Amino acid sequence: MRKYDAPVTQLRVALAQTNPTVGDLRGNADLAVRHVREARKAGAHLVVFPEMFLSGYPVEDLALRRSFCNASRAELSRLAVRLKDEGLGEITVVMGYLDAIEGRWQKAGQPPTAPLNAGAFLHGGRVIVRYAKHHLPNYSVFDEMRYFVPGEDLAVARVHGVDCALMICEDLWQEQGPSVYARAAEVGLVVVINGSPYERLKDDLRFELCARRARQVGCPLLYVNMVGGQDELVFDGDSLVVDAKGGLVARAPQFREYLLVADLDLREATSDPTALTPSVDRVVISADPVPGYDPCTPPTAEPLDDLAEVYKALVLGTGDYARKNGFTSTVLNLSGGIDSALVATIAVDALGPENVHVLALPSQHSSEHSLADAEDLAKRQGVDYRVVPISGIYDAFVREVPLHGLAAENLQARIRGTLLMSLSNEEGHLALATGNKSELGTGYSTLYGDTAGGYAPLKDVPKSTVWALARWRNAEAERHGEQPPIPHNTIVKPPSAELAPGQQDSDSLPPYEQLDALLDDYIEDDFGADELVERGHDPAMIDQVTAMVDRTEYKRRQYPPGPKISERNFGRDRRQPITNAWREASTPR
């Protein structure tokens, strides 16, 4: 039984919703010091950073490199000393980092060097206690059983008289996980550090989970999540604080760095800190409660609506991929169609119009309205706009190598891809591919043509969502009294690759609303043909679309990375064999 008659004390906590860079140990430590300094100005007693903040997350196979594990451990110790030297040693800091079990080498079935996804309490220039993540997710984008050894004990640190239990991300999702130990240990505060990637509509699940765990343990809970882009993953922040009954106390805004400060009334610890508790590692950092003070009113940011979330995820992912990989500018082929228009707009919002370069690359089949729409968008957004006709290059090529039909169509796309990558090399821009998830799913793209680029902002965005995002972005501009960035004609005209006279997407693809619904069921949920028929999809369309998806896996393997927004993207989530004779069929074989 829990004791509910313990005295109550105050504690001001600061959740550092921050944007680390994988591998930049010293830079991440610098960022941590800045946030701790800001937290001290806010009067915080406890500052909490996200999962593996010091090393960045996910580190993937860097975790298997002994030199990197050792460097992460050393940087943690240096950070503790540095905080004290800079007058911040009296604040307790919870830091996520990459650790390893000392003196232990690889055992059968375990990763080399026994790496740990770890967190630690820092105070007074020292690393006080360490905790290793117990539950290692091995689904979706997570592959942590490949990289880490699971922890065993719960770390409980007494901070100003309050026993604080530390957990890491997946630990919170387990009904019989460390929360059971935390309840038995009668802790007054649960601290959960997270590297939880963004997916559409995921924030409600997080809040409900935090509320459930707080009620289970019987005390308030802190949930701090990182923010920023890392290759295909986007972390949205959305850090929050809930009380012992699961009620929302404070919430940080999404998709930006933020220091969330909140005052809590917490149960003061009364148990003997030296008492041995099974599976609990107890330490005392500071036993005396803080003197009483007037609490502040914590902020509670409203969650964004669905399209706002998606758009901000795309902007953050694109901007961080560019900056963290040393690019200050981008280049893309602006065709006058909806996909390239949205990519250009995302790039402008991510990096500024002065850093976005667009190329109109018309062929003999390009329409006048497409060129006009491209130029209109460039003027609206103030980007560098160049027109480079490719008809002469095309004619020179086919004089030497005669091509016909689809091969001749694809040559136009490949010429554009070559020019795009050549300017990327010449001028140092990050080349952006403009294809969407619907095209990528069906293989409706040209390998080494419109698949060319270093990053693909719409890789996980279905075509129907592309249109919705374009309308949303224009409406947002109008709401703020600004000119819509995307021309109306670009949004309303029928989509076309314009590689042949009078060509439209509908010539070879089903209507996008029907296609996207089918792709969602087949790709996201892995439904087979019979299940797809039960869900109302046309049998002929099932046969056509699933065959297109299955035979073009080789294209997707060669596509650039792009921000993940769905539950299952083409990339880290979905791993299908390229050589694969299985085909779904809605009719008997």
SS3 labels along 181-236:
HHHHCCCCEEEEEECCECCCCCHHHHHHHHHHHHHHHCCCEEEEECEEEECCEEEE
d(CA 4, CA 227): 36
- Joined together, the tokens standing for residue 470 give 């374009």
d(CA 48, CA 343): 35
Q: 371 and 451 share a domain? A: yes
| CA dihedral angle for residue 426, residue 430, residue 435, residue 436, rounded to 10 degrees | 180
Q: 218 and 345 share a domain? A: no
d(CA 487, CA 478): 13
Query: Torsions phi, psi of 533, nearest 5?
Result: -65, -45
Rounded alpha-carbon distances, angstroms, from residue 421 to 199, 366, 424, 429: 31, 21, 5, 9
How many CB atoms are located within 10 Å of the residue 216 CB?
16
Q: 251 and 367 share a domain? A: no
Domain that holds residue 376: 307-502
Contact 37, 69 (CB under 8 A): no
- Joined together, the tokens standing for residue 551 give 């035979």
Contact 159, 201 (CB under 8 A): no
d(CA 466, CA 565): 13
> Which one-letter amino acid corresponds to residue 462?
P
Last residue within a domain, chosen from 288, 317, 346: 288
- Ramachandran bin of 59, using left for φ above 0, alpha for ψ from -120 to 50, beta for the remaining angles: alpha
Residue 1 lies in a domain: no
Query: Torsions phi, psi of 276, nearest 5?
Result: -80, 125
Q: 280 and 395 share a domain? A: no
Supply the pLDDT for residue 3: 47
Residue 268 lies in a domain: yes
> Alpha-carbon Rg of the chain, whole angstroms?
27
d(CA 283, CA 156): 6
d(CA 265, CA 188): 9
d(CA 518, CA 523): 8
Residue 69 lies in a domain: yes
Q: 320 and 411 share a domain? A: yes
- Three-state SS at 394: helix
Query: Any idea which residue has 């309303």 for tokens?
Result: 492
CATH number, domain of 418, equals 3.40.50.620
Q: 214 and 318 share a domain? A: no
Query: Torsions phi, psi of 368, nearest 5?
Result: -65, -35
Last residue within a domain, chosen from 288, 315, 341: 288
Strand 154-159 and strand 126-132: pairing? unpaired
What's the gap between Cα 10 and its chain centre?
A: 34
Per-residue pLDDT of the chain (589 residues; tens, 9 = 90+): 344 567 889 999 999 999 999 999 999 999 999 999 999 999 999 999 999 999 999 999 898 899 999 999 999 999 999 999 999 999 999 999 999 987 555 566 666 678 999 999 999 999 999 999 988 877 777 787 787 888 888 999 999 999 999 999 988 888 888 888 888 888 999 999 999 999 987 657 889 999 999 999 999 999 999 999 999 999 999 999 999 999 999 999 999 999 999 999 999 887 777 666 667 888 899 999 999 888 999 999 999 999 999 999 999 999 999 999 999 999 999 988 999 999 999 999 999 999 999 999 988 776 777 889 999 999 999 999 999 998 999 899 989 999 888 898 889 899 999 999 999 999 999 999 999 999 999 988 888 988 999 999 999 999 999 999 999 999 999 999 999 999 999 998 876 655 556 656 666 778 889 999 999 999 888 899 989 999 999 999 899 999 989 999 999 899 999 999 998 888 888 888 888 888 887 665 4
Q: 277 and 313 share a domain? A: no
Residue 136 lies in a domain: yes
Residue 395 lies in a domain: yes
Q: 246 and 355 share a domain? A: no
Residue 295 lies in a domain: no
d(CA 125, CA 76): 10
Supply the pLDDT for residue 581: 83
Q: 266 and 397 share a domain? A: no
Q: 276 and 402 share a domain? A: no
Q: 79 and 17 share a domain? A: yes
> Which one-letter amino acid corresponds to residue 303?
P
Contact 72, 55 (CB under 8 A): yes
Supply the pLDDT for residue 444: 86
Contact 262, 298 (CB under 8 A): yes
Please count the structural domains in the chain.
2
CATH number, domain of 135, equals 3.60.110.10
Supply the pLDDT for residue 104: 56
Residue 508 lies in a domain: no
Residue 571 lies in a domain: no
Give the list of residues 6+ apart from residue 84 with CB closer than 8 angstroms, or none.
124, 125
Residue-wise DSSP of 434-491: ---HHHHHHT-S-TTTTT-SSB-TTTT--HHHHHHHHHHHHHHHHHTT---SS-HHHH
Contact 260, 134 (CB under 8 A): no
- Three-state SS at 134: coil
Supply the pLDDT for residue 512: 87
Q: 267 and 335 share a domain? A: no
Last residue within a domain, chosen from 260, 288, 316: 288
Torsion sign, CA atoms 208, 211, 214, 215: negative
Query: Any idea which residue has 């690889």 for tokens?
Result: 106
- Joined together, the tokens standing for residue 452 give 């060319």
Contact 65, 111 (CB under 8 A): no
Could you give the residue numbers annotated as active site? 51, 133, 169
